[in-house]
Amino acid sequence: MKILIFGSTGFLGKKLVKLLDKQKNLRIFKTVRKKKNINDKNLLHCDLKDSISIKKTLNILSPDIVVNLGAEVSFKKKIKDMFLVNATAPKIIANYCSLNHKYYIHASSAIVNGFHNKFFGNKIAYNPDTEYGKSKLIGDLNIVQSRCHYSVLRFPGIYGFQGPKHLGINVSIANALNNKKPTLFGNGLGKRNYIFVEDAAKMIIKLIKKKNKGIFYLGGQTITFKKMFEYIYKFWFPNSKIIKNNSKIKMRDQISIISKQFSNYTNFYDSLKKINLTFDNCLLKPTIADVPWLGNSHTGKQQGINLSDYFKKVLRDDEISEIDRQSYKIVEELNKLKTTPIDLLKIPEKLLYDFKLQKELSNDDRMWAIYSAFAFRGYRSVRVRKITWISIIAYIFSKITYLANIPRLIKLRLFPGIGKQNYTKNIF
């Protein structure tokens, strides 16, 4: 079964793809907006702002299920192409699914009921009071009118590791992960039932299997901001008091009335445990934009990004030139140092990035652990294999070869430039 995912590189999209990769009998295809990012046969170029691009992608692939997680998000103002992505693109996809009898899963938002509502649900009237809410509602109605086999998922805020910053709780979690105490604004009595990103992805997988039709509201544990912060501090700062900004902001309740089919979710404290585990694991495997590094000569043949080529592909020539210009100053200073080992303390502090901050954190064990995980990961990835008879023969052969070349090595050492094979004169 072929599944096409729009928005696969977003917050929810990445988590969904990761979980789908563990499923059997599924072929997952993902779309990207830039052609230069295509480095996989299952990646397709498609721009949700371009109707021709969407139609072309659908007709070429002919997927059995389409999952659309793409969106242009802004709660404060109308941004360029918002209605193209949020309203027109869903209509094109839905019409295709209707004509070809395909299943369509669409990620929408509870914001269609109105940002200032207390409750969000199927029995609550539509009253979008933001341009984003209006664009999402039009997209949803276009899907319903197409009469395709659809599931529209109306999410509240989605939180998790590296979650979008327009949701305040994601910023607070990110601060905690980076050993910075988050600040609670207002009285913290407002209630939310944000959904954990892993739960959101699992609910989409559930729909892929069961193919339910309808409009569904999702959510997680109903909890106050104050309680969320208590859990965050309990988990990461157990001996500290919550930092508060005693503003007069009164947070209103905003609760998604969860559809019965999706009432299973992770409670907030347990989700923090998973977030912290994800954070720790990501340090053990270095990546660039979630793509593994190619590795070094010790790790054997791998698939991934070759660092020597990567930056030339994603940076402009003037950016690379500026990096070279800035880094060359340090290279010059290193060349001036004739001692072995090199005394790095002799390099001017002004040439070192973020020197003062690093000095402040030098006694922080956790920061050093994070730094070491990033800086030395490649050197620890040496594969150790069981000795075989071939490796023993290879070892003996290398020793015989070395012994046979001793006379030549002595000649090159004592009489350089005389005779042939002088290309090895720098061997010592």
Does residue 42 sit in the same domain as residue 109? yes
In a domain, 369, yes or no: no
Residue 212 lies in a domain: yes
- Is residue 122 assigned to a domain? yes
| Closest by Cα among 186, 160, 194, 195 to 252 | 186
| Distance (Å, whole) CA 415 – CA 149 | 84
Can you give 347-401 as a three-state secondary structure string? CCHHHCCCHHHHHHCCCCHHHHHHHHHHHCHHHHCCCCCCCCHHHHHHHHHHHHH
147 lies in the same domain as 294: no
The residue from 266, 300, 331 where one domain ends is 266
- Based on the fold, state whether residues 322 and 407 are members of the same structural domain: no
Query: Which residues lie closer than 8 Å to 88 by C-beta, 6 or more apart?
Result: 51, 139
Q: Confidence band (pLDDT; 50, 70, 90) for 341?
A: confident
Q: How far is CA 91 from CA 84, 259, 408, 425, in A?
A: 10, 24, 77, 71
- CA–CA gap between residue 277 and residue 269 (Å, rounded): 13
Which neighbouring-strand residues pair with 152? Answer: 106, 215
Q: Calculate ∠ Cα 289-291-292, nearest 5°.
A: 130
Domains: count for the chain: 3
CATH number, domain with residue 93: 3.40.50.720
Tokens standing for residue 200: 């959101």
pLDDT at residue 377, as a whole number: 56
Asked if 306 and 207 sit in the same domain, the reply is no
* pLDDT per position as a tens digit, 256-285: 999 998 988 999 999 999 998 877 666 555
Contacting residues for 185 by C-beta, under 8 A, at least 6 apart: 244, 245, 247, 249
**Judgement on whether residues 86 and 137 belong to the same structural domain of the protein:** yes
Same domain, 52 and 93: yes
Average pLDDT for the chain: 84
Number of H-type helices and E-type strands within the chain:
16, 17
On whether residue 242 sits in a domain, the answer given is no
CB count, 10 Å around CB of 5?
A: 26
Domain that holds residue 30: 2-164+191-221+251-266
| 245 in a structural domain | no
Tokens of 299: 């790790």
Lowest mean pLDDT among 67-71, 318-322, 358-362: 358-362
Q: Do both 209 and 325 map to the same domain?
A: no
**pLDDT tens digit sequence for 14-65:** 999 999 988 888 999 999 887 766 667 888 999 999 999 999 999 999 999 9
Same domain, 14 and 138: yes
Considering only 306-320, 348-362, 395-409, which range has the smallest mean pLDDT? Answer: 306-320
Tell me, yes or no, whether 7 and 139 share the same domain: yes
DSSP assignment, residue 87?
Answer: I
Output the six-digit token pair for 57.
Answer: 């992608």
Q: Can you name the residues that pair with 214 across neighbouring β-strands? A: 151
For residue 428, the model assigns a pLDDT of 37
Give the β-pairing of 2-6 and 65-68: parallel
Answer yes or no: do 400 and 332 share one domain: no
Mean pLDDT of 364-376: 70
In a domain, 415, yes or no: yes
State the Cα–Cα distance between residues 368 and 417, nearest whole angstrom: 50
The answer to whether residue 182 sits within a structural domain is no
pLDDT in tens, 326-338: 777 888 888 887 7
Quick one: pLDDT at residue 414? 80
Comparing 31-45, 166-180, 389-403, the range with the smallest average pLDDT is 31-45
Q: 105 with 208: CB under 8 angstroms?
A: yes
Q: Residues 109-141: pLDDT tens digits?
A: 999 999 888 999 999 999 998 899 999 999 999
The token duo for 306 is: 């070759």
Check whether residue 198 and residue 324 sit in a common domain.
no
Tokens coding 236: 């990461």
Indicate if 65 and 114 belong to the same structural domain. Answer: yes
Q: Is the pTM for the entire model greater than 0.75?
A: no
Residue 379 lies in a domain: no
Q: What is the pLDDT at residue 419?
A: 64
